A = this chain, B = another copy of it.
Amino acid sequence: MANQQYASCIEACNACASACDFCAASCLQEQDVKMMARCIALDMDCAQICRLAAGYMARGSEHAKAICRLCADICQTCADECGKHQMSHCQECAAACKRCAEECRRMAA
């Protein structure tokens, strides 16, 4: 439906946004929320830029590559932070962020 050249990157952005939002909400239910503070903050940043990037790509925006370049950086930072925590919502989020960072880097190239 959307721009076909962007299909797999849009899909990765949507999956990453969902994983980040789910991770943020799950972190808020953990016993030691304080330890998760940076994870939650990065989840918020990452979910928002991923959804923005999906929209730019779907519209075939002339700024889509620039957004994807920045999105890759934010996804990578979030992947690194989430990867430090053993809960499944963090590990799954780290994997989704890492995949999205790769897709976005490929798109921005």
Residues of A within 8 A of B (CB): 1-3, 10, 14-15, 17-22, 24-25, 28-29, 31, 33-34, 36-37, 40-42, 44-45, 47-49, 51-52, 54-56, 58-63, 66-67, 70, 73-74, 77, 92-93, 96
Do B61 and A41 have beta carbons less than 8 Å apart?
Answer: yes
A28 to B46, CA, bound (A): 17
Q: Knowing A28-B37, A51-B54, say if A45 contacts B18 (CB, 8 Å).
A: no
A41 to B67, CA, bound (A): 15
A17 to B48, CA, bound (A): 14
A63 to B72, CA, bound (A): 12
Given A28-B37, A66-B73, 18 more A-B residue pairs with CB atoms under 8 Å apart are A1-B19, A2-B18, A18-B54, A19-B58, A20-B58, A21-B55, A22-B60, A24-B44, A25-B58, A25-B59, A28-B40, A33-B36, A33-B37, A41-B61, A44-B59, A49-B52, A49-B67, A51-B55
